[in-house]
Structure 1
Amino acid sequence: MDEFNPLYKRWRKGLKRVALVYPNRYVGGISNLGLQYIYHRINLMDGFVCERFYSDVFDGLKSVETSTPLSSFDIALFSIQYEEDVFKAYEILKKSGFSGLKIAGGPCIMENPRPYEKIFDFLYVGELESSSFFDRLQFNDLKDCEGIYSPGKRVKSVRSKLDEHLEMQIIGNSAYGRALLLEIGRGCVRNCRFCIVRRIYFPCRWRDAELLLEVAEKNRKFVDKVALIAPSPSDHPEFREIVFGLADMGFSVSPSSIRADKIDEEIIGVLKASGLRTLTIAPEAGSERLREALNKGIGYEDIIRTSGLAGEYGIEKIKLYFMVGLPGERKEDLDEIVNLAKEVRNSVRRVEISVNPLVPKPHTPFQWLSFGGKLEFRKEDIRELKEKIKYLWKNLRGFEFKAGSVEEFAVQTVISRGKQDVFPLIESGRANSFRNIFRLGLDRYLGSVEEHWSCVDHGYDAKRLRMELERALRIAGIDF
């Protein structure tokens, strides 16, 4: 494996082995700075050594560093980034015969730990940098550790200060290419009604530009590209200083995404000069009405202006992200997606369209909606979602078009909103999971359900979420 790893620690007799398991592909796992921080922190601890596991390296059953079987490890830390990762996590545990301590964390555990209760010994809710987790792990005393979820009790999510950054990191072929990863912020200042990020990573925190540039300087001899990581990097109050500073050092700069209302000629010129070839914009909806219902905060003029700047400065490609199954969605809204895509293509040569069904996530104003964007779920909604995607595909011939599987997004919805009773679905495996939703009677989680995830305290007022939902429904033209 072609990677630079300054954090590696050799195992010797007497050391406890900790497996850091990412039950998905290497390219995604190596792009996650949180995992790199855990790996680094454990390898600094006396008496412990940490090695990594990825689903596409030895099928997740042996470590990357030494090919040691998972069954030889004492502790396994799983990061569940996406709901469907739990299928692979469970499969890895069963196939490996692992019998040690099983701990899981990550966004899906922060979202709703209840579906994972039967799989793991401990579930950690929150961020790790400022917590006592590693000290308690060292003394095998996690039971009353902050952030550890106990069934039947409410757990407060742990927040970290971002006053430091991992100075050295593993550099491999990540989702951003071979790049230094700079997490410039966590959380989001926006209030998109469909998005869980604002709630589970509240409040929004930014790292200082000076700190980030110092880390970049220390890594100049190892890599010539920097990826700026945050839910909305261009909202950083020092975004301009960061981009210009990195460009002055000779780095090519790749933000994880760009807000269409935050781009100007100067910024896009520097990004292009530093090697940016693709710009990512997420309108989410084609019509102004639905973007307002989503509280997206960008309009048609922002998107067209940014696309025009991209074309002027020679950006080769724009990626546009949209959703279907939004509340109050009509055929005219789909036509607006088609029209907007065609307008953008007037500015740049290549346009990629990505379309996914809305997952009504816990901890968002849309948590009371059904899968399909209505107030109640009907089986016909699955067919309608497929028809909407097919309609867009037919009318966007000539574009690069990618669409998520409606069935897979239905499975995500069930797992994200479920309780312990979704374990048989996880146990049955990914291949037939959609069919098993109905066989097991779990399709109730595709409709509006009780907030089983209120066992996690993320510090927001649920009454305000309800008010936001009502605003969205009024804008979308739905009676409630």
Structure 2
Amino acid sequence: MTEFNPFFKRYSKGLRRVAVVYPNRYVGGISNLGIQRLYFEVNRSEKYLAERFYTDVFDGLRSVENATPLKDFEVALFSIQYEEDVFNAVRILRESGFSGRSVAGGPCVIQNPLPYAKIFDRLFVGEAENAVLDVVEDRAVEGLVPHSYRRRRVELDSEMRSEIIGEGAYGRALIVEIGRGCPRGCRFCVVRQIYSPARWRSAESILEFAEENRKLANKVAIVAPSPTDHPEFKEIVSGLRELGFEVSPSSIRADRFDEEMAELISGTRTLTLAPEAGSERLREALNKGISEDDIISAVEIAESAERIKLYFMFGLPGEEQEDLEEIVRMVERIRRMGKKVSVSANPLVPKPHTPFQWLPYGGDPERDVRENLRELKRKRKFLLSRLRRVADVDVESVERFAVQTIISRGDESVGELIAGGARPSEILKRASEFLEPLPPDEELPWDRIEMGYRKSRLRREFELVMERFG
């Protein structure tokens, strides 16, 4: 692979090795600034040497930098970005013969560390900037379980003045995090809790960073959960364009998209929008805050975009057949506007720390697990058959998202199954109770994490939705 790596460090006698493991493919890992931050902080220390591991490079068993076996490292830092990555992590630990201390962090661990407690020696809950060496040396720092169960939150800094550039999810691009957390209140989304409060980098600091790294790439990918909510978004994009960059936002809020913004990102070939639901009533239940008029207006304004990428969910509370038909109708309407359309439609995963955390997988508390799974499969079949006529469609299997739900809402018993070598199909069979509705009055596995919000607020939102569809 070809990459620019300003943090590369050669081994010398006396340095202690720390592995930074992304238990998924390189294309995603090189685009992850959290991974880069771990690597940066370890390699700036005089005591340690960090090397990276990805599943599609030596099967995750040897490092990218020097093909060093994982078993030669003292500490391994794993970032679990997606629930299913834990299966890769278990395989890597088992096949590598690693005997050092393993630590796992990332969004999946933050939302619910319990399923990972039987797999890794330590877990980190929160944001690790300027605490990575504390984690490596197993100090009692905030967020490092079992020393602390309080989510660690930091102010965004600009210490990392460059980054590794490779062929990642955004192509060969400079990736700039313009904000963290989200000011929106979407009821399905875990980001608003685990990364609260929303924080923004200043336009001045962003443009300064981009200018310093101008020679590394011709493209900037600006990332945040909701980039267009940045109060200086237009100034940032305009400034990057003046520096000569092609600019690609990770996503666009349809209700924030206007002619000026369309002009600023006029080189972008794909416009990504997330209606989430086809009908107005379900978008209101999700608290999405956008209308169909907003979505159609954004498509009309984006004249230069050749493709519109749309994200939808199904298996929502109160969902009827008419709501699925509204998804199809919206996609057909956009297709008639002369745009190529890509659709990603997947079942709702009722995530911890959201108002939907008490829902069953499938969204209907009146159905048992088998009935909900059967109904989700029917909905998936319907959407595939209808949407394939007008769009490129990606609809993952119902079973795969069921396993994600089990891992995200499970306890130590789920981790024991995974650590014991159980595959996803076995997890689904043996831990299906985590697909059932959760009693609002009972303690949840993740309640022990001090996240900084009141659970009663989430419960009020949940009851509001259920009363509406009860």
TM bucket by the smaller chain?
over 0.9
Does the residue aligned with 2:216 lie in a helix, a strand or coil? coil
Match for 1:409: what amino acid?
F
Check conservation: 1:317, 1:348, Cα contact below 8 A. Answer: no
Structure 1 equivalent of residue 112 of structure 2: 112
How far off is 1:455 after superposition? 1.5
TM-score (norm 1): 0.94
CA distance in 2, matches of 1:365, 1:136: 32
CA distance in 1, matches of 2:459, 2:364: 15
CA-to-aligned-CA distance 1:338-366 (integer Å, 9 cap, x gap): 11111111224200011100000000000
CA distance in 2, matches of 1:276, 1:141: 45
Pick one of 404, 418, 425 that aligns with 1:412: 404
Match for 2:244: what amino acid?
G
| Pair 1:78 & 2:71 matched | no
Structure 1 equivalent of residue 275 of structure 2: 283
| Pair 1:227 & 2:221 matched | yes
| Pair 1:437 & 2:428 matched | yes
How far off is 1:314 after superposition? 2.1
Structure 1 equivalent of residue 144 of structure 2: 148
Structure 1 equivalent of residue 379 of structure 2: 388
CA distance in 2, matches of 1:104, 1:154: 14
Structure 2 equivalent of residue 315 of structure 1: 305
How far off is 1:333 after superposition? 0.1
CA-to-aligned-CA distance 1:432-471 (integer Å, 9 cap, x gap): 4234432x2x111001235110111110110000011112
How far off is 1:260 after superposition? 0.1
Residues 408 and 95 (structure 1 numbering): CA distance in 2 closer, same or farther, change over 3 Å? same
Structure 1 equivalent of residue 201 of structure 2: 207
TM-score (norm 2): 0.96
CA-to-aligned-CA distance 1:359-393 (integer Å, 9 cap, x gap): 00000000000000122542121121111011011
Pick one of 297, 301, 318 that aligns with 2:293: 301
Structure 2 equivalent of residue 422 of structure 1: 414
CA distance in 1, matches of 2:223, 2:357: 26
Aligned-residue sequence identity (percent) comes to 56
CA distance in 2, matches of 1:314, 1:136: 47
Residues 325 and 251 (structure 1 numbering): CA distance in 2 closer, same or farther, change over 3 Å? same
How far off is 1:165 after superposition? 5.4
Structure 2 equivalent of residue 463 of structure 1: 456
CA distance in 1, matches of 2:46, 2:379: 56
Structure 2 equivalent of residue 260 of structure 1: 254
Alignment of 1:339-350 (within 5 A): 339-350=329-340
Q: Which moved more, 1:60-69 or 1:344-353?
A: 344-353
| Pair 1:87 & 2:77 matched | no
CA distance in 1, matches of 2:433, 2:301: 46
Gaps of 5+ in 2: none
Structure 1 equivalent of residue 155 of structure 2: 161
CA distance in 1, matches of 2:341, 2:373: 27
Check conservation: 1:307, 1:344, Cα contact below 8 A. Answer: yes
Check conservation: 1:133, 1:145, Cα contact below 8 A. Answer: no
CA distance in 1, matches of 2:164, 2:148: 36
CA distance in 2, matches of 1:249, 1:141: 43
| Pair 1:334 & 2:327 matched | no
Match for 1:382: what amino acid?
L
Alignment of 1:166-181 (within 5 A): 166-181=160-175
Structure 1 equivalent of residue 133 of structure 2: 134
Structure 2 equivalent of residue 400 of structure 1: 392
CA distance in 2, matches of 1:25, 1:345: 33
Structure 1 equivalent of residue 245 of structure 2: 251
Does the residue aligned with 1:379 lie in a helix, a strand or coil? helix
Structure 2 equivalent of residue 474 of structure 1: 467
Match for 1:452: what amino acid?
P
CA distance in 1, matches of 2:369, 2:434: 12
Q: Which moved more, 1:187-196 or 1:377-386?
A: 377-386
CA distance in 2, matches of 1:466, 1:177: 41
Structure 1 equivalent of residue 342 of structure 2: 352
Residues 197 and 136 (structure 1 numbering): CA distance in 2 closer, same or farther, change over 3 Å? closer
Does the residue aligned with 1:457 lie in a helix, a strand or coil? coil
CA distance in 1, matches of 2:351, 2:199: 22
CA distance in 2, matches of 1:337, 1:279: 18
Residues 171 and 353 (structure 1 numbering): CA distance in 2 closer, same or farther, change over 3 Å? same
CA distance in 2, matches of 1:178, 1:102: 31
Does the residue aligned with 1:244 lie in a helix, a strand or coil? helix
Residues 69 and 136 (structure 1 numbering): CA distance in 2 closer, same or farther, change over 3 Å? closer
CA distance in 2, matches of 1:337, 1:463: 33
CA distance in 1, matches of 2:369, 2:6: 53
How far off is 1:136 after superposition? 5.7
Does the residue aligned with 1:469 lie in a helix, a strand or coil? helix
CA distance in 1, matches of 2:135, 2:217: 36
Check conservation: 2:187, 2:286, Cα contact below 8 A. Answer: yes
CA distance in 2, matches of 1:337, 1:154: 44
Check conservation: 2:141, 2:148, Cα contact below 8 A. Answer: no
RMSD of aligned C-alpha atoms?
A: 1.4
Check conservation: 1:26, 1:57, Cα contact below 8 A. Answer: yes
Does the residue aligned with 2:17 lie in a helix, a strand or coil? strand
CA distance in 1, matches of 2:456, 2:159: 36
Does the residue aligned with 2:272 lie in a helix, a strand or coil? strand
CA distance in 1, matches of 2:60, 2:433: 33
How far off is 1:154 after superposition? 6.8
Gaps of 5+ in 1: none
CA distance in 2, matches of 1:24, 1:416: 18
Check conservation: 1:286, 1:334, Cα contact below 8 A. Answer: yes
CA distance in 2, matches of 1:314, 1:225: 17
Check conservation: 2:173, 2:219, Cα contact below 8 A. Answer: yes
CA distance in 2, matches of 1:121, 1:428: 16
How far off is 1:398 after superposition? 3.0
Check conservation: 2:119, 2:419, Cα contact below 8 A. Answer: no
CA distance in 1, matches of 2:323, 2:390: 20
Match for 1:437: what amino acid?
L
Does the residue aligned with 1:362 lie in a helix, a strand or coil? coil
